[in-house]
């Protein structure tokens, strides 16, 4: 074939537009399509388009709970052929998830056959499985034939599909949803329907605006189909529901089973949501083989229909709580579920809603559905009443009506004119069967007419009165609450609430995993730190770099935690077993923590749980902080004392249990006042302890008045015999310190 020139492109097909603009327009179209037609659920029915089309197609196939199921392939074929032109695998996967009782809190599809399991095994091919709708699904579909929602043409215009389902079940929060769109995502956990209904009843009953904190007292948190234990702090749960974003901390449920000879085993009966049991067991086995969990000897899977993972400890002396805490840290026996209630508001606008907004959106949708269904029913009732009025006229004038029908070629206009009938009434009379002309039928028509007239009046009142509408919706919610109440198998709460383990248990776990031995922590003035084995070492034997000197020396255990207080007001945590050995000069502390270059170490303490620490800055401000609140989990530390460019953090000391007074030195003076004048806070700037100028505060010490105030100078420890001379109120200037007080104005 001879080569020829490429055909010329007509001018009308050439787009003269910058490539960036073209790319932006097309990418925006793709993004909007992904957000609205694929990834984000509608807040009204809680469904994405694929799930909505699946349920609509199954409804069209009459796959009700009381009917025999049909092959899943038939359902998927109808969905992709009529409404959802995507791959059959994706549609079938969506259908499978709707049938899995470990994935859906209230399944929408009743699956027959292999629909997968919690181990992560896939479902059987769609040609082998069968499916039908559940009762919950029928509640979502109820009203489709009554003009409850709008319909739109399908992708090729040959069929019609609903834009949204009537949604007579709070599906979004009940079953949750997850999806990733372009530039946004959604992740909503399942909840207990009875709690949702009770919360909405409170919203409807209250005349005032109900705060979310009152709703959270009812809706305690997610209710996952796999159960488990929710150990998130109540403040975190409230904040998540108030903002629509947050994290829920989930743990597996376990119990201790006693064996012979004082032995025991741990049995895990519930695992966190969306965790595959097979992968969880593989992870535990891997940790055992790699000796990452020295307390655990073996793991066995004895699961049948229920989950039963058996964990065998190496010794009966091991505390089961410590063993489980170790597994929580290293496996998916503890997970975090990220809440992101990003939904489509009225099917159009993506929006992050809080708990109350989601509940109110569902209530508003139910009101709209109720009005539309009532209006549709009212039209049907009025039409039937009109027909019955015509029948009654015909019965009253039966002979004349029959005569007109027999003698007239066009009886309809004659009847309408003679008896003042409407077109509908005349047509109904002409279509009346002869068998309906018996006398009994007249009484039945009058009875039906009376009933429909009463129904018409009630419907008209309902449509006009918003109060009646909310009363009707409240009754609907009460019925749902009764159907899925806590006494029912499906409605009973599965996820229990519990407190997170105390920091003491975490500390005990660290000790259990680390060989406990005495160490001496040495830190130089330049920030070089090391840990030498043993206690009672001679400080004269410690060596430092040229120009450096000792700053802190602490005797500790290898299982202890070191907390460093920076001049920037942050606390940093370092495990003593992670400190470099005592040979040489150690390593810079800045390699272990993210201490800024413009900050230094103000104090070094050994962490002691459930204690109190007094912190103070150079401007004389300070407060008492719980020791548990200063423990940092990351290298960046934890901001506790608020400082600015003019002030620095200066002091951090433990407060003894019996201490009742506090001594402060600053600007060359000393002040003593009662300790209860200093507030207890988790973080902040604190209050003025002494009237010190910028950089004036030197030291702070708490003491018990009966024991007396002591300080240490070059000659030894001295006690202030009469401390009343310095006794005053907080924030005063103080007086000159006693004779012999150290020149650096520090107590030791």
| Pair of tokens at residue 676 | 């209860």
Contact 203, 363 (CB under 8 A): yes
Cα distance between residue 63 and residue 65, in whole Å: 7
Q: Which residue of the set 27, 128, 155, 264 is catalytic?
A: 128
CA nearest 95: which of 147, 58, 121? Answer: 58
Cα distance between residue 608 and residue 364, in whole Å: 53
Sheet of 229-230: strands edge to edge?
177-180, 185-188, 334-340, 245-251, 229-230, 496-497
Bridge-based pairing of strands 109-112 and 70-71 is unpaired
Interaxial angle between packed helices 398-407 and 355-396, expressed in degrees from 0 to 180 and rounded to the nearest 10: 80
Our answer to whether residue 273 is catalytic in this structure is no
Cα distance between residue 463 and residue 467, in whole Å: 10
Give long-range contacts, CB 8 A cutoff, 24+ apart: 364-369. Answer: 365/43, 365/44, 365/45, 365/164, 365/167, 366/167, 366/168, 366/473, 366/476, 367/466, 367/469, 367/470, 367/473, 369/143, 369/148, 369/149, 369/166, 369/167, 369/168
Q: Name the one residue in this structure whose structure tokens are 């130089």.
A: 524
Cβ neighbours, 10 Å, residue 92: 21
Bridge-based pairing of strands 309-313 and 296-301 is antiparallel
Contact 673, 730 (CB under 8 A): yes
DSSP string computed for 450-488 = HHHHHHHHHHHHHHH-HHHHHHHHHHHHHHHHHHT-TTS
Provide the annotated active-site residues. 128
């Amino acid at each position: 074939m001879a080569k020829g020139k490429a055909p010329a492109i007509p001018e009308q097909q050439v787009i003269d537009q910058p490539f960036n603009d073209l790319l932006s327009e097309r990418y925006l179209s793709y993004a909007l399509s992904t957000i609205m037609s694929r990834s984000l659920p509608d807040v009204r029915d809680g469904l994405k388009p694929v799930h909505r089309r699946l349920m609509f197609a199954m409804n069209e196939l009459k796959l009700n709970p009381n009917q025999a199921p049909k092959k899943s392939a038939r359902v998927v074929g109808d969905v992709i052929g009529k409404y959802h032109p995507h791959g059959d695998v994706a549609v079938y996967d969506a259908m499978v998830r709707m049938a899995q009782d470990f994935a859906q809190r209230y399944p929408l599809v009743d699956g027959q056959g292999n629909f997968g399991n919690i181990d992560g095994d896939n479902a059987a091919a769609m040609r082998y499985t069968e499916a039908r709708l559940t009762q919950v699904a029928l509640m979502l579909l109820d009203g489709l034939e009554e003009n409850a929602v709008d319909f739109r043409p399908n992708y090729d215009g040959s069929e019609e599909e609903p834009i949204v389902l009537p949604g007579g079940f709070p599906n979004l929060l009940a079953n949750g949803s997850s999806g990733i769109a372009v530039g946004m995502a959604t992740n909503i956990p399942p909840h207990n329907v009875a709690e949702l209904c009770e919360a909405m009843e409170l919203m409807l009953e209250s005349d005032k605006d109900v705060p979310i904190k009152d709703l959270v007292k009812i809706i305690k948190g997610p209710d996952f189909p796999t159960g488990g234990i929710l150990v998130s702090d109540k403040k975190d749960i409230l904040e998540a529901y108030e903002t629509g974003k947050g994290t829920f901390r989930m743990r597996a449920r376990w119990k201790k089973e006693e064996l012979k000879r004082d032995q025991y085993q741990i049995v895990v009966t519930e695992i966190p949501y969306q965790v595959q049991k097979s992968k969880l067991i593989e992870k535990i086995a891997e940790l055992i083989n790699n000796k990452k969990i020295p307390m655990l000897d073996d793991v066995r899977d004895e699961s049948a229909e229920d989950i039963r993972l058996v964990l065998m400890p190496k010794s009966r002396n091991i505390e089961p709580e410590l063993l489980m805490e170790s597994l929580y840290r290293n496996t998916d026996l503890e997970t975090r579920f990220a809440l992101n209630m990003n939904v489509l508001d009225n099917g159009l606008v993506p929006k992050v809603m809080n708990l109350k907004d989601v509940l109110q959106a569902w209530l508003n949708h139910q009101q709209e559905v109720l009005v539309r269904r009532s209006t549709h029913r009212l039209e049907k009732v009025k039409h039937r009443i009109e027909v019955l009025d015509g029948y009654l006229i015909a019965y009253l004038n039966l002979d004349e009506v029959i005569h007109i029908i027999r003698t007239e070629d066009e009886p309809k206009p004659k009847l309408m004119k003679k008896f003042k009938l409407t077109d509908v009434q005349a047509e109904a009379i002409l279509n009346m069967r002869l068998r309906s002309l018996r006398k009994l039928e007249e009484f039945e028509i009058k009875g039906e007419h009376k009933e429909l007239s009463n129904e018409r009046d009630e419907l008209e009142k309902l449509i006009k009165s918003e109060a009646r509408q909310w009363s009707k919706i409240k009754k609907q919610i009460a019925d749902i609450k009764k159907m899925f109440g806590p006494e029912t198998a499906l409605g009973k709460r599965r996820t229990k609430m519990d407190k997170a383990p105390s920091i003491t248990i975490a500390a005990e776990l660290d000790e259990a995993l680390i060989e406990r031995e005495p160490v001496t922590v040495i830190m130089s003035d330049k920030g070089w730190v090391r840990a030498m084995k043993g206690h009672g070492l001679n400080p004269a034997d410690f060596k430092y770099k040229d120009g450096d000197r000792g700053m802190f020396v602490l005797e500790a255990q290898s299982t202890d935690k070191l907390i460093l207080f920076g001049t920037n007001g942050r606390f940093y945590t370092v495990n003593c077993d992670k400190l470099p050995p005592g040979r040489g000069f150690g390593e810079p502390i800045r390699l272990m923590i993210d201490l800024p270059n413009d900050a230094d170490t103000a104090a070094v303490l050994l962490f002691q749980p459930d204690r109190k620490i007094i912190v103070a800055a150079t401007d004389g401000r300070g407060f008492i902080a719980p020791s548990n609140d200063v423990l940092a989990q990351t290298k960046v530390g934890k901001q506790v004392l608020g400082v600015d460019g003019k002030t620095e953090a200066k002091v951090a000391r433990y407060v003894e249990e019996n201490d009742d007074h506090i001594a402060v030195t600053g600007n060359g003076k000393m002040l003593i006042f009662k300790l209860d004048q200093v507030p207890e806070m988790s973080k902040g700037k604190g209050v003025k302890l002494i009237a010190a100028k910028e950089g004036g505060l030197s030291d702070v010490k708490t003491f018990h008045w009966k024991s007396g105030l002591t300080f240490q100078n070059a000659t030894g420890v001295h006690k202030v015999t009469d401390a009343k001379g310095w006794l005053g109120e907080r924030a005063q200037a103080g007086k000159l310190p006693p004779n012999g007080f150290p020149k650096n104005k520090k107590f030791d």
